[in-house]
Amino acid sequence: MSEKAEKIILTGDRPSGKLHIGHYVGSLRQRVELQDSGEFKKIYIMIADTQALTDNFANPDKVRASVTEVALDYLSVGLDPNKCTIFIQSQVPELTELTMYYMNLVSIARVERNPTVKAEIAQKNFGEGVPCGFVCYPVSQTSDITAFKATTVPTGEDQKPMLEQAREIVRKFNEIYGPTLVEPDILLASNKACLRLPGTDGHAKMSKSLGNCIYLSDDADTIREKIMSMYTDPTHVKVSDPGHIEGNTVFTYLDAFSRPEHFERYNIGFANLDEMKEQYKKGGLGDVKVKRFLNDIIQEELQPIRERREEYAKDIPALYDMLKKGCETAREAASQTLAEVKHAMKIDYFG
């Protein structure tokens, strides 16, 4: 078998809102490159509505509307339904069935130890207690990955513990029931600033649920306003003051977005980002100038995405046709794996 015949991608996003530039640099941008690389036999992109419902169960309208938004975001960044299968998690019931079987292979203590789940529980203020479905969503994520025999899962850094948990479940399954499932690898963005892009408020992670995002669909004025009021270095009061780069969100965004050609194109007076950072550290470079430069770069990147999005939004029935086809293709693949799982577990009573 060739390399290509073996490599399969599964990745996705929760429809808990529109996608933002954290998703873009942490995952979407790389997904499009992987899609166009021709290195993968199959690419599955999942809109994780079942997972979004674990903490948005009382908000079905929001989840439903966000499915449309996320699908539009996908097409607008360049994901191509002819090259990848875009589908909706809840429409592939085989995934839910797999979750039930995998649930036996994980202890309650283990799911509760997952650091990302822990941090999210602390952040979400679940009034009436944490839903079982929420604590167990990493198990359901294991179903999503293994159902498609994914070898490669491109995600942001917050998903590392999910992948570890998936690998543990796969190993345990294969040990008990015989070799059936494929152990997946995480694929992180190579640029460190993109692993977990901070929010515009300086919070460690830009997140739909925290409202500190620049959305791919934001208009030019909104983007400018958000950038101009971004968190920088609180000790950098006067332009002449020495400034800090570490923890300075504006510079983290420049790390994630700027390319060598931007320095010439926008005539910023520095040959590259290192020179600009040096000047900021010494003093004599104001936040407004840095923010204006960042704004130019982000506007340049987001404008074509926003324009494509507006075009796709004109034909929502076509968008749903594409999703329906994706769901059918995904079901075929997942039901094959489910049959193999049931056979391995000796619950294939009727052949």
- C-beta closer to ligand ATP: residue 79 or 285: 79
- Would you count residue 197 as binding ligand ATP (CB under 6 A)? yes
- For ligand ATP, the closer CB: 70 or 169: 70
Q: CA-CA distance, 327 to 335, in Å (whole number)?
A: 12
Instruction: Verify binding: residue 226, ligand ATP, rule CB under 6 A.
Output: no
Closest CB to ligand ATP among residues 74, 173:
74
CB of 93 to ligand ATP, least distance (A): 21
**Which CB atom, from 44 or from 280, has the smaller least distance to ligand ATP?**
44
Q: Which CB sits closer to ligand ATP, 156 or 243?
A: 156
Contact call for residue 331 and ligand ATP (CB under 6 A): no
Nearer to ligand ATP, 93 or 161 (CB): 161
205 touching ligand ATP, by CB under 6 A: yes
Of 8, 18, 26, 322, which one interacts with ligand ATP (CB under 6 A)?
Answer: 26
Q: How far is the CB of 287 from ligand ATP (least distance, A)?
A: 22
Among 8, 9, 10, 14, binds ligand ATP (CB under 6 A): 14
Closest separation in Å from C-beta 195 to ligand ATP: 6
Query: Can residue 23 be called a binding residue for ligand ATP (CB under 6 A)?
Result: yes
CB count in 10 Å sphere of residue 82: 6
Segment contacting ligand ATP (CB under 6 A): 21-29, 108-116, 263-271, 304-312?
Answer: 21-29
Least distance in angstroms from the C-beta of 239 to ligand ATP: 30
Secondary structure in 3-state letters for the chain: CCHHHHCEEEEEECCCCCCEHHHHHHHHHHHHHHHHHCCCCEEEEEECHHHHHHHHCCCHHHHHHHHHHHHHHHHHHCCCCCCCEEEEHHHCHHHHHHHHHHHHHCCHHHHHHCHHHHHHHHHHCCCCCCCHHHHCHHHHHHHHHHHCCCCEEECCHHHHHHHHHHHHHHHHHHHHHCCCCCCCEEECCCCHHHCCCCCCCCCCCCCHHHCCCCECCCCHHHHHHHHHCCCCCCCCCCCCCCCCCCCCHHHHHHHHHCCHHHHHHCCCCCCCHHHHHHHHHHCCCCHHHHHHHHHHHHHHHHHHHHHHHHHHCCCHHHHHHHHHHHHHHHHHHHHHHHHHHHHHCCCCCCC
How far, in Å, CA of 257 to CA of 296, rounded? Answer: 11
With beta carbons less than 8 A apart as the criterion, state whether 100 and 341 touch.
no
Told to check if 236 binds ligand ATP by CB under 6 A, we report no
- Spatial separation of the C-alpha atoms in residues 284 and 47, rounded to whole Å: 46
For ligand ATP, the binding residue among 88, 136, 147, 206 (CB under 6 A) is 206
Query: Could you say which of 27, 50, 152, 337 contacts ligand ATP (CB under 6 A)?
Result: 27
| Region of 16-24, 180-188, 243-251, 275-283 interacting with ligand ATP (CB under 6 A) | 16-24
Q: Which residue lies nearer to ligand ATP by CB, 268 or 294? A: 294
72 contributes a contact to ligand ATP by CB under 6 A = no
130-169 binders of ligand ATP (CB under 6 A): 155-156, 158-159
Binding residue (CB under 6 A) for ligand ATP from 42, 149, 208, 331: 208
Q: Which stretch binds ligand ATP (CB under 6 A): 8-16, 59-67, 86-94, 231-239?
A: 8-16
CB-based burial label for 181 (10 Å; 0-12, 13-18, 19+): buried
Residues that bind ligand ATP (CB under 6 A): 13-14, 16, 22-23, 26-27, 155-156, 158-159, 196-197, 205-209
